[in-house]
Amino acid sequence: MKKAPWWIIGVMVGIVFLIIGFGREQFDDIYNKAIMICLECIGIG
Amino acid sequence: MRRFTFARIRLFFQILYTIVTNGYAYGYLNGKIYKGSLKYACVPGLNCYSCPGAVGSCPIGALQAALNEHKIEVPFAVIGFLFVFGSLFGRFVCGWLCPFGLLQDLLHKIPLFKKRKQLPYHNVLKYGKYLVLIGLVIVGSSFLFGGFVKVPAFCKYLCPSGTFMGAIPLISANANLQMQVGGLFYWKLGVLITLIILSIKIYRPFCQYLCPLGAVYGLFNRFSLVQIRWTKEECTSCGACQRACPVNLPPEKISVSPECIKCGKCVDACPTDCLHFCKKTNNRQVKEIKR
For the stretch B97-106, pLDDT in tens is: 999 999 999 9
The whole model's pTM is what? 0.91
State ipTM.
0.93
Amino acid code (one letter) for B60: I
Comparing CA positions, the residue from B251, B168, B158 lying closest to residue B205 is B158
pLDDT-derived band at B290 (thresholds 50, 70, 90) equals very low
Low-confidence ranges of chain A (pLDDT < 50): none
Distance from CA of B271 to the nearest CA of A (A): 30
pLDDT at position B289: 52
B200 at the A interface (CB within 8 A)? Answer: no
More confident residue, B112 or B196: B196
Compare CB distances from A6 to B33, B184, B283 and report the shortest one's residue: B283
pLDDT-derived band at B286 (thresholds 50, 70, 90) equals low
Tell me the β-bridge partners of B223.
none
pLDDT tens-digit readout, B201-234: 999 999 999 999 999 999 999 999 999 999 888 8
Is A31 within 8 Å of B281 when comparing Cβ atoms?
no
With beta carbons less than 8 A apart as the criterion, state whether B246 and B263 touch: yes
Work out the angle between the directed axes of helices B212-220 and B76-89 (0-180°, nearest 10): 60
List all residues of chain B from 13 to 42 with a beta carbon under 8 Å from chain A: 33-35, 37, 39-42
What's the number of CA atoms in the CB half-sphere (13 Å) around residue B124? Answer: 2
CA angle at residue B122 from B11 to B160, to 5 degrees? 50
What's the number of CA atoms in the CB half-sphere (13 Å) around residue B107? Answer: 21
Buried b or exposed e, range B278-288, using 16+ CB within 10 angstroms: bbbeeeeebee
Least confident of B9-18, B37-46, B59-68: B59-68
Q: How far apart are CA B262 and CA B256, in angstroms?
A: 10
B51 at the A interface (CB within 8 A)? Answer: no
Residues of chain A contacting residue B75, judged by C-beta atoms under 8 Å apart: 21, 26
Is B162 within 8 Å of A43 when comparing Cβ atoms?
yes
Compare CB distances from B280 to A5, A24, A42 and report the shortest one's residue: A5
Residue B76 burial class via C-beta count within 10 angstroms: exposed 0-12, middle 13-18, buried 19 and up: buried
Is B76 within 8 Å of A34 when comparing Cβ atoms?
no
Q: How far apart are CA B77 and CA B58, in angstroms?
A: 13
With beta carbons less than 8 A apart as the criterion, state whether B203 and B108 touch: yes
Average pLDDT, chain B: 89
